[in-house]
Structure 1
Amino acid sequence: MRTALFLFLAALLPTQALAANQVALANDVFVERVSTDAQGKQRILLEEPKVVVPGDRLVFVLNYRNAGAQPADKFVITNPLPAAVSFADAGDTRPLVSIDGGRGWGQLDQLTVAMSDGTRRAAQPGDVTHIRWAFQKPIPAGGSGKLMFRGVVK
């Protein structure tokens, strides 16, 4: 049982995001929990995912830093979504998403999924397989930042 839990948690961690230009990436994942104090005030806590169950909200954090001596131009981070997780949101960053394993990209509200009867339906967050951020400006040498997205355990 302990091995199965470890393997499940390992599957939740995004694989190393693809990067170029000597930009170092570090990925973290947290479980988002709501705590209520004695006065009834709620706080959102981010905790290490020791145990996760279907319905748990996860927060994936991608830290990047340009370790090179030159600006990282046309920088792109592509992150596959773990199969055990349904995409929820990416805050206000509006990344491109793929619903076909990384072959095609677009904004979620612009993508459609082919149905078995030949019709198409609007893509849903659960259809997302990959997330991509394409930086519009070069990352200066030594520059760093953080991106995040949320998912829900299936």
Structure 2
Amino acid sequence: MRFGIGFVGFACLAASGAFAKGSIDIGRAVYVERTREGVRELEPATSLKAGDKVVLVVEWRAQSPDRRFTVQSAVPRDLAFQRAGSDAIEVSTDGGRNWGELGTLRIGSRLASAEDVTHLRLRVVGRQRGRMTFSAVVR
């Protein structure tokens, strides 16, 4: 089964209030991991199939280094979250209602797993540019 890259179409991105004011430029990209001759490479994703490992990147540049904002990204349903690129990234397993570190969040009586992650967010303070990354596997 093949998925067009549009499904990631960036339901993947929302930034809080500051984004709406237009003073923050947001860019996003999806890369697929390929192994050729024993070498792991990332290449821009043009189509995906079940089992592909992908890296999603959200980059921002703020007009002012004094801005405080949150970069938030949904994990598309066709992807199973694997890990975030930074310990500063918080995750949600309930559509963005509750946030925390994986290993502290619960779903009912059990600890949430990586595959339960629905959203990620990064609170940005005093940085004019940056990037949030996470890896996933196509379901």
Q: SS at 1:108's partner residue?
A: coil
Provide the rounded CA distance (Å) in 2 between the counterparts of 1:55 and 1:74: 37
Number of residue pairs matched by the alignment = 134
Tell me the residue number matched to 2:119: 130
Aligned pair partner of 1:147 in 119, 122, 132: 132
User: Would you say the 8 A contact 1:94–1:107 is kept in 2?
Assistant: no
Tell me the residue number matched to 2:102: 108
Tell me the residue number matched to 1:44: 40
Aligned pair partner of 2:7 in 11, 23, 26: 11
Structure 2's unaligned 5+ residue stretches are: none
Provide the rounded CA distance (Å) in 1 between the counterparts of 2:49 and 2:79: 11
User: What's the C-alpha RMSD, in Å, of the aligned pairs?
Assistant: 2.0
Q: Structure 1 residue 94: deviation in Å?
A: 3.8
User: Would you say the 8 A contact 1:63–1:145 is kept in 2?
Assistant: yes
Provide the rounded CA distance (Å) in 2 between the counterparts of 1:46 and 1:13: 19
Structure 1's unaligned 5+ residue stretches are: 37-41, 115-119
Letter aligned with residue 31 of structure 2: F
Q: Structure 1 residue 92: deviation in Å?
A: 3.2
Aligned pair partner of 1:62 in 58, 61, 73: 58
Bigger Cα Rg: 1
**Identity over aligned residues, as a percent?**
31
Q: SS at 1:10's partner residue?
A: helix
Q: Rate the CA distance shift 1:76–1:25 in 2: closer, same or farther, 3 A.
A: same
